[in-house]
């Protein structure tokens, strides 16, 4: 994407446009758009409240189906349709947001998607019959469904939303979430990382009465599609009358493996048993695979509390029943490689935060996938058992915290705590300006709502490129370049014609990370240093002439043309006072909120 910024020549002064955002009377909803299920919340006063679906359930399947008549169905009705026509039901549409076609992470998991995926001008799209839907359109339909759920509960139409997102999503994915919500007539005020949301809820439920502590907690989330570990510092002090509570996310690590991968292992196991029983290939039968997958998910839940699970499916194929059993030992053996990947984020967090002693760290486990017994055994091996806890609702804690974060993060809203969330990828900047050397603009763990100024030598027209430095960590469908900005609009004079004692013009570019983790280039100014020769002292005859023009009260009577001269001199002094020495190479000035 190429954006253009026109340079503003700074000579007479600086003008600031200040905007404030207030929730006011508008209503807000929170959405946790998971791989398997979606949770929706509203605010009742200052307390988050779950929105029940039409089945009185606290979570809804992230499915959208299109029946043969063309009607759209969601949640439980879509799940019923999927059992009969799996190719007519789209699941986990958010995983396709911002992905280029083909993407390695999607192609490696394509066996999990029975619906039709097509190339839509270099991006993914879904095909149902003759209709083509983009991921943004499908996610927008689901968000609209969530909005209608909230409206049925509160009788108030939401206008703003906060969305819980994985920590690893890129700029394209973040912008795609915003675009999808806009299609559904919602404004996204924040995209909150799941670990950060859980940290806010942890503070509210566990530390609200504490007045003095400095502690570290890892929020370990095993979701359906990924696993993450977020190391968070809680700094609570009471220097005067008011207690200061700060939540600082130090570092986050992740791995794209989760409960869905364990389900797939069990599904393959059941498929093997079924093919042995029926003596024929069943892998190409979409309806059979969906029923086996549903049975596998149920068996996994049973094995979290029992050492053996019995599986029985009536009329699996040709009116023949299927029966088998699986032990916890068999399940753990078939998933041995997955356990290593699930625990990898914990080890990486320790590597990235080596200054923190693991003996002083507590672990809070969230996410439905963490109920697997072997995962908890691994955690107890790394930490002492008393430091591993499940004190919160693992399914809803991230969304509850995200709602509190959104409600208190708007301008002018007084908050009882401060959240310092972090951007988890390094972003580099390069520019075709003279003598510009590429460098790291945003380091990992940079704070949201940060502003950075970049100075470089001016050119007639310059193009700045923002890009991810960890290119190898991106899947093939995610381009390394984030955005490009063309800096133009220079005044009509020769920038190369300078006196010996004059500095070359310099461009200052303002870059920001907003509350949604979206990086943007918002402003560009051209700064010119001009050497002004001092005016000669007036001759005595001129002084006498000036005294002769004084009025009756002793004040000098100024000619009209001299007013402009004095104003120009005043403005010139202001510019000289406001100017700072401009470096000849790229530098940065970081401005972060307190």
Digit-coded pLDDT (tens) for 466-477? 999 988 888 877
Q: Give residue-wise pLDDT tens across range 137-175.
A: 999 999 999 999 999 999 999 999 999 999 989 999 999
- Check residue 582 and give its pLDDT: 42
Task: Flag whether pLDDT at 454 surpasses 80.
Answer: yes
| Residue 275 burial (CB count, 10 A) | 13
Phi and psi angles of residue 583, each rounded to the nearest 5 degrees, phi first: -70, 160
| Beta partners for residue 230, in sequence order | 219, 252
Share of the chain above pLDDT 90, in %: 55
Residues 6 or more apart whose Cβ sits within 8 Å of residue 558: none
Q: What is the pTM of this model?
A: 0.83
Task: Flag whether pLDDT at 210 surpasses 70.
Answer: yes
Strand duo 37-44 + 28-33: pairing? antiparallel
Could you tell me the pLDDT band of residue 499, with boundaries at 50, 70 and 90?
Answer: low
Least confidently predicted of 142-146, 177-181, 536-540: 536-540
Least confidently predicted of 11-25, 329-343, 426-440: 11-25
Q: What is the mean pLDDT of the chain?
A: 83
Higher pLDDT among residues 563 and 524, named by residue: 524
Share of the chain above pLDDT 70, in %: 81
Task: Flag whether pLDDT at 554 surpasses 60.
Answer: no
| Residue 298 burial (CB count, 10 A) | 14
Token digits of residue 151: 């409206």
- Check residue 11 and give its pLDDT: 33
Q: Give residue-wise pLDDT tens across range 17-55.
A: 223 333 443 489 999 999 999 999 998 877 899 999 999
Total residues belonging to the chain: 594
H-helix or E-strand containing 139?
helix 135-154
Task: Flag whether pLDDT at 110 surpasses 60.
Answer: yes
Structural domains of the chain, with CATH: 28-185 (3.30.420.40), 209-397 (3.90.640.10), 425-529+579-591 (2.60.34.10), 540-577 (no CATH)
Inter-CA distances, 533 with 150, 294, 460, 568, Å: 69, 83, 27, 14
CA–CA separation, 209 and 141 (whole Å): 41
Task: Flag whether pLDDT at 549 surpasses 60.
Answer: no
Mean pLDDT of 55-65: 96
Task: Flag whether pLDDT at 134 surpasses 90.
Answer: yes
- Check residue 415 and give its pLDDT: 63
CA–CA separation, 365 and 384 (whole Å): 14
Averaging pLDDT over each range in 292-301, 430-439, 489-498, which range is the top one?
A: 292-301
Least confidently predicted of 397-406, 531-540, 552-561: 552-561
Could you tell me the pLDDT band of residue 128, with boundaries at 50, 70 and 90?
Answer: very high
Task: Flag whether pLDDT at 220 surpasses 50.
Answer: yes
Least confidently predicted of 15-24, 76-85, 433-442: 15-24
- Check residue 174 and give its pLDDT: 96
CA–CA separation, 255 and 222 (whole Å): 10
Task: Flag whether pLDDT at 413 surpasses 70.
Answer: no
Mean pLDDT of 258-283: 95
């Amino acid at each position: 994407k190429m954006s253009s910024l026109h340079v503003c020549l700074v000579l007479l002064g600086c003008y600031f446009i200040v905007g404030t955002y207030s929730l006011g009377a508008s209503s807000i909803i929170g959405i946790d758009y998971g791989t398997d299920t979606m949770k929706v919340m509203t605010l009742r006063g200052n307390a988050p409240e779950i929105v029940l679906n039409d089945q009185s359930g606290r979570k809804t399947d992230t499915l959208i189906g299109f029946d043969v008549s063309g009607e759209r169905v969601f949640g439980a009705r879509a799940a019923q349709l999927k059992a009969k026509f799996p190719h007519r039901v789209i699941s986990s549409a958010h995983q396709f947001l911002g992905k280029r076609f083909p993407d390695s992470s999607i192609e490696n998991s394509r066996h999990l998607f029975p619906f039709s995926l097509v190339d839509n001008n270099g991006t993914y799209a879904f095909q149902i019959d003759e209709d083509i839907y983009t991921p943004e359109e499908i996610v927008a339909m689901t968000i609209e469904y969530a909005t209608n759920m909230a409206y049925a509960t509160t009788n108030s139409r939401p206008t703003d939303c906060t969305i819980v997102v994985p920590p690893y999503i890129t700029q394209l994915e973040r912008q795609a979430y915003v675009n999808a919500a806009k299609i559904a007539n919602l404004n996204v005020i924040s995209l909150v990382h799941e670990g950060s949301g859980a940290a806010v809820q942890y503070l509210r439920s566990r530390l609200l009465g504490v007045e003095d502590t400095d502690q570290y907690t890892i929020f370990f989330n095993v979701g359906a599609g990924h696993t993450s570990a977020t190391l968070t510092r809680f700094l609570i002090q009471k220097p005067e009358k008011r207690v200061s509570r700060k939540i600082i996310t130090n570092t986050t690590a992740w791995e794209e493996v989760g409960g869905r991968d364990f389900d797939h292992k069990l599904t393959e196991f059941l498929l093997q048993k079924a093919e042995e029983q029926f003596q024929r290939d069943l892998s190409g039968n979409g309806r059979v695979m969906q029923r086996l997958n549903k049975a596998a998910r149920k068996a996994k839940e049973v094995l979290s509390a029992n050492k053996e699970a019995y599986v029985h499916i009536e009329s699996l194929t040709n009116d023949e029943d299927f029966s088998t059993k699986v032990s916890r030992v068999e399940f753990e053996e078939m998933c041995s490689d997955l356990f290593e990947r699930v625990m990898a984020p914990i080890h990486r967090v320790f590597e990235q935060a080596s200054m923190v002693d693991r003996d002083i760290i507590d672990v809070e486990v969230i996410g439905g996938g963490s109920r697997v017994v072997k995962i908890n055994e691994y955690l107890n091996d790394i930490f002492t058992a008393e430091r591993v806890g499940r004190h919160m609702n693992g399914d809803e804690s991230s969304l509850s915290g995200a709602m509190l974060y959104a409600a208190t993060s708007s301008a002018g809203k007084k908050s009882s705590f401060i959240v310092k969330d972090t951007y988890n990828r390094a972003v580099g900047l390069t520019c075709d300006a003279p003598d510009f050397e590429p460098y790291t603009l945003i380091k990992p763990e940079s704070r949201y709502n940060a502003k950075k100024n970049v100075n470089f030598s001016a050119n007639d027209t310059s193009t700045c490129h923002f890009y991810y430095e960890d290119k190898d960590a991106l899947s093939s469908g995610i381009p390394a370049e984030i955005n490009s900005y063309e800096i133009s609009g220079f005044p009509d004079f020769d920038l190369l014609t300078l006196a010996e004692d004059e500095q070359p013009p310099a461009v200052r570019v303002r870059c920001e990370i907003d509350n949604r983790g979206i990086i943007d280039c918002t402003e560009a100014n051209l700064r010119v240093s001009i050497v002004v020769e001092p005016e000669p002292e007036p001759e005595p005859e001129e002084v006498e002439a000036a005294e002769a023009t004084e009025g009756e009260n002793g004040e000098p009577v100024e000619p009209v043309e001299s007013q402009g001269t004095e104003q120009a001199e005043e403005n010139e002094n202001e510019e000289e006072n406001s100017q700072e020495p401009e470096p000849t190479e790229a530098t940065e000035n970081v401005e972060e909120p307190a």
